[in-house]
């Protein structure tokens, strides 16, 4: 335990220190400055690309876990290999422009790598393996991209990663598997180090490298948990409810309106809310929903106190009503 705590502290310090270095580097030129435009949620030029610190710190922590025998080689290869591929394509996009088809291709390859190294889709209710692949790959790619979509205001994506990492570890402990929680804790520690710089008012932004990396790793952690205990997959679906509800409702509404969904926009519920109430208020509200609404439902499912489907419906209905009320996907004037 002492060794794990020491490594988590080092992961936090590495992410914190590297983020500071990346910020100083970005401030030396305009190429890595996010200059506000009519699609932005910020008003001052701000460095971007700080998510690289999360990637490096988390991968370093996982390498220690594999070498120490606390993280299996398969899990390390799955999370590290897939995360590195997504971070690399995101890094290139942050520094220039990569066509959407190439980014999406890498995303699917990384999701396939992740699922293959983790043993394929989990066995859930008699679903065949082929159905598991057909559903699992798009779900992982969607989670990766929706995390990127939700990284639009100060502290939101970083805070979500900290919450999900800690909550995922708590679910494993509740299921009697605390020894399998190291990867979740390492992700949370790396995200916390970055969040010191990204909490409102943000001094650096995450960028596609960091958001894509976190989105895919959260999906990988959910898949790993599902292989250990099928109930944990549904618990993870509940944990990520704020991001899933907002991004999915927004995408559906824009699709129905015939908009080009791959173009930048400011019509997510959290973006409408941030323009009215500020970044800090919205981020804190999201974390409050996570802690006091979603986590208890996820824990109840993990412990077998509630059946997954009714719990997911009850947990999500207020979220869908909230994002609709806030204007998710509403046409921008």
Let me know if residue 31 belongs to a domain.
Answer: yes
Instruction: Say what the pLDDT of residue 126 is.
Output: 59
Instruction: Say what the pLDDT of residue 87 is.
Output: 97
Instruction: Say what the pLDDT of residue 262 is.
Output: 73
- Contacts within 8 Å (CB) and 24+ apart, 76-79: 77/117, 78/113, 78/114, 78/115, 78/116, 78/117, 78/118, 78/220, 78/224, 79/114, 79/183, 79/217, 79/220, 79/221
> How do the residues of the chain divide into helix, strand and coil, expressed in percent and rounded to 5?
70, 0, 25
Query: Within the chain, which residues score under 70 in pLDDT?
Result: 29-31, 33-44, 124-129, 333
Let me know if residue 263 belongs to a domain.
Answer: no
Instruction: Say what the pLDDT of residue 3 is.
Output: 82
Let me know if residue 311 belongs to a domain.
Answer: no
Q: What angle is formed at CA 298 by the lines to CA 129 and CA 208, rounded to 5 degrees? A: 70
Let me know if 35 is exposed, middle or buried by CB neighbors in 10 A (0-12, 13-18, 19+): exposed
Instruction: Say what the pLDDT of residue 127 is.
Output: 61
pLDDT tens profile 273-331: 999 999 999 999 999 999 999 999 999 999 999 999 999 999 999 999 999 999 998 98
Let me know if residue 264 belongs to a domain.
Answer: no
Is the bond into 141 cis (omega within 30 degrees of 0)? Answer: no
Instruction: Say what the pLDDT of residue 37 is.
Output: 58
Count of domains forming the chain = 1
Q: What is the CA radius of gyration of the chain?
A: 19
264 φ, ψ (degrees, to nearest 5) = -65, 145
Let me know if residue 303 belongs to a domain.
Answer: no
Instruction: Say what the pLDDT of residue 128 is.
Output: 58
Instruction: Say what the pLDDT of residue 133 is.
Output: 87
Range of the domain at 189: 2-236
pTM: predicted TM-score of the whole model, two decimal places = 0.94
Distance CA 107, CA 207 (A): 16
Q: Residue 262's closest CA among 253, 254, 270?
A: 254
Let me know if residue 151 belongs to a domain.
Answer: yes
Let me know if residue 249 belongs to a domain.
Answer: no
Let me know if residue 175 belongs to a domain.
Answer: yes
Instruction: Say what the pLDDT of residue 28 is.
Output: 80
């Amino acid at each position: 335990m002492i060794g794990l705590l020491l490594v988590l502290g080092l992961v936090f310090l590495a992410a914190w220190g590297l983020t500071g270095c990346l910020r100083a580097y970005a401030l030396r030129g305009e190429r890595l400055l996010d200059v506000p435009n009519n699609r932005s949620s910020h008003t001052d030029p701000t460095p971007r690309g700080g998510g690289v610190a999360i990637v490096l710190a988390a991968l370093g922590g996982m390498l220690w876990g594999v070498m120490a025998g606390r993280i299996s080689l398969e899990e390390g290869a799955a999370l590290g290999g897939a995360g590195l591929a997504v971070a690399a394509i995101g890094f290139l996009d942050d520094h220039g422009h990569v066509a959407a088809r190439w980014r999406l291709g890498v995303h699917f390859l990384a999701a396939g790598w992740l699922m293959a190294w983790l043993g394929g889709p989990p066995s859930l209710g008699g679903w065949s393996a082929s159905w598991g692949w057909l559903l699992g790959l798009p779900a992982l790619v969607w989670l990766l991209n929706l995390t990127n979509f939700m990284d639009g205001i100060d502290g939101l994506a970083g805070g979500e990663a900290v919450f999900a990492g800690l909550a995922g570890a708590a679910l494993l402990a509740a299921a009697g598997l605390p020894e399998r929680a190291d990867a979740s804790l390492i992700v949370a520690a790396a995200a916390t180090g970055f969040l010191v710089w990204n909490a409102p008012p943000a001094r650096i932004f995450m960028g596609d490298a960091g958001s894509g990396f976190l989105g895919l790793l959260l999906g990988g952690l959910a898949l790993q948990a599902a292989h250990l205990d099928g109930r944990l997959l549904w618990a993870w679906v509940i944990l990520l409810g704020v991001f899933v509800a907002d991004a999915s409702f927004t995408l559906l509404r824009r699709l129905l309106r015939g908009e080009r969904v791959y173009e930048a926009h400011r019509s997510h519920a959290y973006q409408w809310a941030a323009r009215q109430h500020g970044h800090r208020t919205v981020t804190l509200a999201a974390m409050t929903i996570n802690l006091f609404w979603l986590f208890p439902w996820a824990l109840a499912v993990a412990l077998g106190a509630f059946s997954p489907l009714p719990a997911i419906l009850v947990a999500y209905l207020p979220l869908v009503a909230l994002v609709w009320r806030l204007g998710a996907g509403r046409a921008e004037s």
